[in-house]
Structure 1
Amino acid sequence: MKKLLLVPVLTLASSLCAMAADDVAKSPPAAPYQQVSKLVKLPDFLPGMGQLFVDPTTLPAGPFLAYDHDGKLVSTIYMLPTKDLNPDKSFDNLAAPGGNVDHVDVYYNAGHPGVEEPHVHVVLWHVAAAGEESVAK
């Protein structure tokens, strides 16, 4: 009997994840996300990243939702301060609001408006590598 209950629970959990991904699939995402360029002095579209939205209460780490020129979600980005990458700090249960992740990029950034201190970008791509071109320019 317990095994029979597990199937509907897993199906419901999968459906909820899919619904959550659908909620952010197109720009603009619903509150509490806000357009980053309206919060700090940055262009509306950042080549290589796209149009960014974030829940300001999650700064500086994010997640930032990145959209292409057509308003399609292409990645979820975390900006983790390098000073916090040490044995005394951890970043647990980071969400991927956009759903499935195709691949991940990690790179250093010396700082920019909104996240001024040096940090690492952890980019969860929801599109194949070829799809990254949609935010290249």
Structure 2
Amino acid sequence: MTRSLLPAAALLIAFAGASMAQDQNAAEKSPPGAPYVQVSDALPLPAFIPGLGTLFVDPAKLPAGPFLAYDHDGRLSATVYMVPLEDLQSGTAFNDLGLGSQTVTGVDIYYNAGHPGVEKPHAHVVLYHDPDAKARLAK
């Protein structure tokens, strides 16, 4: 019986790996698809935010995200987390946050006083997915 389970397990692992790669590939170009929504369609924010790009988020993952950040050409450039400082100070942990891409070439962390969607003071944690991503999102 164990011998017959091995091929089935190998097939299951292969399909799971292909499915995960397909999910990641789906996020490479804008729009990423369900459950992500474009932030500017849900909140009074511009479609492209200089420094962050065009943002998409799964509403169930708010406030931290991940927010998927795309450049003007619709290329995934960064994954952004918006972590409320109050939550960190009270001991809240944000575990197992998703990634837009496994490739990370740089990280910025900075303070934000609040904005529509994440009104409380929070930290932006920005993971850039290629060496030119920050420049593409800047303008």
- Shorter-chain TM-score category? 0.7 to 0.9
Name the count of aligned residue pairs: 135
Q: Deviations over 1:32-74 (max 9, x none)?
A: 1001001100000000110001111111111100000000000
The equivalent residue for 1:96 is 99
Question: Within the alignment, does 1:54 sit opposite 2:57 as a pair?
Answer: yes
Change (3 A) 1:16 1:35: same
User: Whole-Å Cα distance in 2 between the matches of residues 18 and 102 of structure 1?
Assistant: 20
What is the aligned-residue identity percentage? Answer: 51
- Ranges of 4+ aligned residues in structure 1 off by more than 2 Å: 7-20
Unaligned runs of 5+ in 2: 1-6
User: Whole-Å Cα distance in 2 between the matches of residues 94 and 45 of structure 1?
Assistant: 23
TM-score normalised by the chain length of structure 1: 0.85
Q: Deviations over 1:86-115 (max 9, x none)?
A: 362111112213232222111110001111
Aligned 8 A contact 1:79 1:121 in 2: yes
User: Whole-Å Cα distance in 2 between the matches of residues 98 and 28 of structure 1?
Assistant: 15
Aligned 8 A contact 1:20 1:98 in 2: no
TM-score normalised by the chain length of structure 2: 0.84
| CA RMSD, Structure 1 to Structure 2 (Å) | 2.3
**CA offset at residue 31 of structure 1?**
0.6
